[in-house]
């Protein structure tokens, strides 16, 4: 894989080659990295190919997670939520809860989004005490404020944003949302 890092097409081709030549758990590990790479490129055709190849891997949390993100990026929020819920049932993670909240907010379910953002926040801080004041938590609180605002609770939304700004003062999204609420 020498020199493939400086050439994205070669890197992608090498990952595909590794994927098709590997077997068992090694194939799953390569597929996970390849899927992450393809998500970044929004190569939906490539993702569909991975999903088709690994369709029998029901117990793989990462596969359900990626399928949920993929469906969400395509605007299929209900399908995305279903996959993310499946991923969260296999292995609960704050990131999965956060992404569920994002899709619910896009789907017009602000109350459910608020619940999932709160669960994500709770799980993040209980799993790792060093994350109590972190950029990850600031991102969760910014999304929570959007859910609160869309429910008409502007004061609570502003409170969450001020707390998020305390954690991550340079967060552009937080500062833009605060300006929006102030105007």
pLDDT of residue 1: 47
**Left, alpha or beta for 163 (phi > 0: left; psi -120 to 50: alpha)?**
alpha
- What does the alpha-carbon distance between residue 127 and residue 159 come to, in Å, rounded to a whole number? 24
Contact 155, 181 (CB under 8 A): no
Three-class DSSP category at 148: helix
DSSP character string of 61-86:
HHHHHHHHHHHHHTT-HHHHHHHHHH
Cα 1 vs. chain centroid, distance in angstroms? 29
pLDDT of residue 7: 82
Which pTM does this prediction carry?
Answer: 0.84
Contact 50, 38 (CB under 8 A): yes
pLDDT of residue 142: 97
pLDDT of residue 148: 97
Contact 100, 82 (CB under 8 A): no
- What does the alpha-carbon distance between residue 153 and residue 148 come to, in Å, rounded to a whole number? 5
Task: Give average pLDDT by consecutive 10-residue segment, the chain, 183 residues.
Answer: 67 89 86 89 90 73 92 95 96 96 97 97 88 92 97 96 94 95 87
């Amino acid at each position: 894989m020498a020199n493939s890092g400086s050439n994205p097409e070669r890197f992608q081709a090498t990952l595909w080659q590794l994927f098709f030549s590997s077997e068992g758990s090694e194939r799953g590990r390569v597929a996970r990295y390849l899927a992450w790479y393809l998500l970044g490129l929004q190569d939906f055709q490539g993702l569909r190919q991975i999903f088709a190849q690994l369709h029998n891997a029901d117990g793989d949390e990462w596969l359900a997670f990626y399928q949920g993100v993929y469906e969400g990026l395509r605007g299929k929020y209900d399908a995305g939520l279903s996959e993310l819920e499946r991923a969260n049932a296999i292995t609960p993670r704050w990131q999965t809860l956060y992404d569920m909240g994002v899709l619910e907010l896009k789907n017009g379910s602000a109350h459910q989004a608020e619940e999932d953002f709160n669960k994500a926040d709770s799980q993040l801080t209980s799993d790792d005490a060093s994350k109590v004041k972190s950029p990850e938590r600031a991102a969760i609180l910014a999304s929570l404020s959007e859910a609160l605002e869309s429910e008409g609770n502007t004061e609570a939304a502003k409170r969450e944003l001020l707390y998020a700004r305390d954690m991550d003062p340079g967060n552009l999204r937080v500062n833009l949302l605060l300006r929006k609420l102030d105007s």
